[in-house]
Amino acid sequence: MFACRASEVPPGARVIRELDGLSVGVFNVAGRFHALHNRCPHRGGDLCRGPVTGTAVPTEDYRFRYGLEGELVRCAWHGWEFEIESGRCLVDARIRARTFPVEIEADSVYVVV
């Protein structure tokens, strides 16, 4: 299903579209497109309207290392962190946001919903 023009979504940006009755976020992460259901598995907030950020990645012994810059979306409601590409929740890998396959044809971004 056609979602948007690729040129509308430069690296770091995202758009949110209604596709077949579903709210879907289309993200451009460093040139690669990914689609996430705009519904957080935690409490149903608008996941895709949250900030795209990095975070302090797992470390040991009180070291802080900022990583995954631009690869995470932090839910607009409670701030849970999700990897945009996989939908994996960082704090608990058993929790996943729903992802959809994305296909690019010329300047068109299609999402398989």
Partner 1 sequence: MIDCDVHNSWSSSTALLPYLEPAFRDYLVRGELPGGRDSFPHAHRPWLHPEGFMRTDATPADGGTPGSNYELLREQLLDRYDLEYAILTGEEAIEVSTLANGHYASALARAANDWTVEEWLPLDPRLKGSLVVAPQDPRGAAEEIRRLGEHPDVVQVLVSSGSSRPYGDPVYHPIWEAAAEVGLPVGIHLGGQGGVNANPTGCGPPTFFWETHALLCETGMGHVASLIAHGVFERFPNLRFVLIECGVAWLPAILWRLDADYKALRKETPWLRRLPSEYAADHIRLTTQPLEQPASPRQLWPLLEAIAGERTLLFASDYPHWDFDDPTTLRLPPEWRERVFAENARELYGLPPRA
Q: Which helix (H) or strand (E) holds 76?
A: none
Q: Is-contact 45 76, C-beta < 8 A?
A: yes
Stretch that binds partner 1, among 30-38, 44-52, 72-80, 103-111 (CB under 8 A): 72-80
DSSP 66: E
Q: What DSSP string describes 29-43? A: ETTEEEEEESS-TTT
**Choice from 69, 78, 101, 107 touching partner 1 (CB under 8 A):** 78
Q: What length does the chain have? A: 113
Which parts of 16-55 interact with partner 1 (CB under 8 A)? 42, 55
Stretch that binds partner 1, among 2-10, 15-23, 24-32, 74-82 (CB under 8 A): 74-82
Which residues are at the interface with partner 1 (CB under 8 A)?
A: 42, 55-65, 78-81, 90-92
